[in-house]
Amino acid sequence: MHIHLKDYRQLLATYLRPQLSRVILLTLLLFGDIALQLINPQLIRLFIDTITSSGPQGVLLPIALLFIVVAVVQQGVKLWATYISECVGWIATNALRIDLTLHLLRLDLSFHKVHTPGELIERVDGDISALSIFFSQFVIQIVGNLLLLFGIILVLFFQDWRAALALGISALLLLIGVNVLRNISIPHWKIFRQSSAELYGFLEERISGTEDIRSSGAQAYMLRRLYRYTRERLRTARKARIISTIPWNVPNFMFALMTLTAFLLIAQFYRNGTMTLGMAFLIYFYTQLLWQPINAISHQIEDFQKASAGIVRIRELLSIESNLKDGPGATFPPGALPLVCENISFGYGEAEMVIKNLSFQLAPGEVLGLLGRTGSGKTTITRLIARLYDPEAGVIRLGGVDLRSASFADLRKAIGMVTQDVQLFHATVRDNLTFFDHTIEDSCIVSALGDLGLNDWYTALPNGLDTILPPNGGGLSAGEAQLLAFARIFLCDPALVILDEASSRLDPATEGLLEQAIDKLLQGRTAIIIAHRLRTLQRADTILLLDDGEICEYGPRAQLANSSDSRFSQLLLTAHEEVLV
The β-bridge partners of 395 are: 342
Q: Does 512 bind ligand ATP (CB under 6 A)?
A: no
Residue count, binding to ligand ATP (CB under 6 A): 11
In the bound state with ligand ATP, the residue whose beta carbon lies nearer, of 388 and 444, is 388
- Neighbouring C-beta atoms of residue 212, cutoff 10 Å: 10
Min dist. Cβ of residue 147 to ligand ATP (A): 56
DSSP letters, 422-479, are ----SSBHHHHHHTT-TTS-HHHHHHHHHHTT-HHHHHT-TTGGGPBPPGGGTTS-HH
Q: Is 111 in the site for ligand ATP (CB under 6 A)?
A: no
Judged by beta carbon distances under 5 to 8 A according to partner kind, the member of Mg ion, ligand ATP, none in contact with residue 502 is: none
Q: Which does 399 bind (CB under 5 to 8 A by kind): Mg ion, ligand ATP, none?
A: none
Picked from Mg ion, ligand ATP, none, the partner binding residue 348 (CB below 5 to 8 A depending on kind) is: ligand ATP
Q: How many Cα neighbours within 13 Å face the side chain of 18?
A: 14
Residue window 297-336: x/- pattern of binding to ligand ATP, with contact defined by CB under 6 A: ----------------------------------------
Question: Is 374 among the residues that bind ligand ATP (CB under 6 A)?
Answer: yes
Closest Cα to residue 499, out of 537, 535, 472, 473?
537
Q: How far apart (Å, rounded) are the C-alpha atoms in residues 571 and 581?
A: 14
CB of 343 within 8 A of CB of 358?
yes
Question: Smallest distance from the beta carbon of 241 to ligand ATP, in angstroms?
Answer: 38
C-alpha dihedral sign at 50, 52, 57, 61? positive
Query: What's the CA gap between 102 and 89, in Å, rounded?
Result: 20
**Exposure string (b/e) for 508-540, b if CB count within 10 Å is 16 or more?**
eebbebbeebbeebbeebbbbbbbeebebbbeb
Provide CB contacts within 8 A for 525, sequence distance 6+: 336, 365, 494, 495, 496, 497
379 vs 510, beta carbon nearer Mg ion: 379
Taking CB under 6 A as the binding criterion, the range among 167-175, 221-229, 371-379, 505-513 that sits at the site for ligand ATP is 371-379
- Nearest approach, Cβ of 383 to ligand ATP (angstroms)? 8
Where in 185-244 is the site for ligand ATP (CB under 6 A)?
Answer: none
Locate all alpha helices (DSSP H) within 209-357, ordered by sequence: 210-215, 219-244, 246-272, 277-318
CB 291 within 8 A of CB 255: yes
Looking at the Cβ atoms of 86 and 392, the one nearer to ligand ATP is: 392
Comparison of 235 and 533: residue with beta carbon closer to Mg ion? 533
Q: Measured from the CB atom, is 47 or 389 closer to ligand ATP? A: 389
| Residue 376 binding Mg ion, by CB under 5 A | no
Binding mask 331-350 for ligand ATP (x = CB under 6 A): -----------------x--
Distance CA 342, CA 344 (A): 6
Question: Does residue 113 bind ligand ATP (CB under 6 A)?
Answer: yes
Distant-in-sequence contacts of 168-176, Cβ < 8 A, 24+ apart: 170/254, 170/257, 170/258, 170/261, 171/258, 171/290, 171/294, 173/254, 174/251, 174/254, 174/255, 174/258, 174/294, 175/149, 175/294, 175/297
CA distances from 347 to 112, 253, 391, 437, 549 (A): 16, 60, 8, 34, 10
**Distance from C-alpha of 518 to C-alpha of 257, rounded to nearest angstrom:** 84
The Cα 328–Cα 408 span in angstroms is 9
- Closest to ligand ATP by CB, 241 vs 532, is 532
Sole window of 70-78, 82-90, 352-360, 374-382 interacting with Mg ion (rule: CB under 5 A): 374-382
β-strand pairing of 367-372 with 526-530: parallel
Among 32, 377, 399, 416, binds ligand ATP (CB under 6 A): 377
Choose between 370 and 514: whose C-beta lies nearer to Mg ion: 370
SS3 label, residue 40: helix
Which CB sits closer to ligand ATP, 369 or 377?
377
What's the closest the beta carbon of residue 325 comes to ligand ATP, in angstroms?
Answer: 20
Shortest distance, CB of residue 354 to ligand ATP, whole angstroms? 4
| Residue 308 contacts Mg ion per CB under 5 A | no
**Does 376 interact with ligand ATP (rule: CB under 6 A)?**
yes
Question: Among residues 15, 11, 228, 198, which one has the least CA distance to residue 123?
Answer: 198
User: 113 contacts which partner out of Mg ion, ligand ATP, none, CB within 5 to 8 A by kind?
Assistant: ligand ATP
Alpha carbon distance 511, 488 (integer Å):
18
Q: Which CB, 199 or 528, lies closer to Mg ion? A: 528
Contacts of ligand ATP in 347-366 (CB under 6 A): 348, 354
- Indicate whether 372 belongs to the interface with ligand ATP (CB under 6 A): yes
Task: Kindly tell me which residue out of 375, 470, 524, 556 binds ligand ATP, with binding defined by CB under 6 A.
Answer: 375
374 Ramachandran zone, left/alpha/beta (phi>0; psi -120 to 50) = beta
Task: Give the whole-angstrom CA distance, residue 188 versus residue 199.
Answer: 17
Which of 285/348 has CB closer to ligand ATP? 348
- CB nearer to ligand ATP: pick between 89 and 377: 377
**Residue 104 or residue 167: which is nearer to ligand ATP going by CB?**
104
Q: Least separation, in Å, of the C-beta of 547 and ligand ATP?
A: 10
Q: Which does 372 bind (CB under 5 to 8 A by kind): Mg ion, ligand ATP, none?
A: ligand ATP
Our CB check for Mg ion shows the closer of 379 and 434 to be: 379
Is 176 exposed, middle or buried (CB count within 10 Å of its CB: 0-12, 13-18, 19+)?
exposed
Rounded to an integer, what distance in angstroms lies between the CA atom of residue 540 and that of residue 530?
A: 10
379 binds Mg ion (CB under 5 A): yes
Q: Interface with ligand ATP includes 45 (CB under 6 A)? A: no
432 contacts Mg ion (rule: CB under 5 A)? no
Only segment of 46-54, 288-296, 360-368, 377-385 that touches ligand ATP (CB under 6 A): 377-385
Binding site for ligand ATP (CB under 6 A): 113, 348, 354, 372, 374-380
Binding site for Mg ion (CB under 5 A): 379
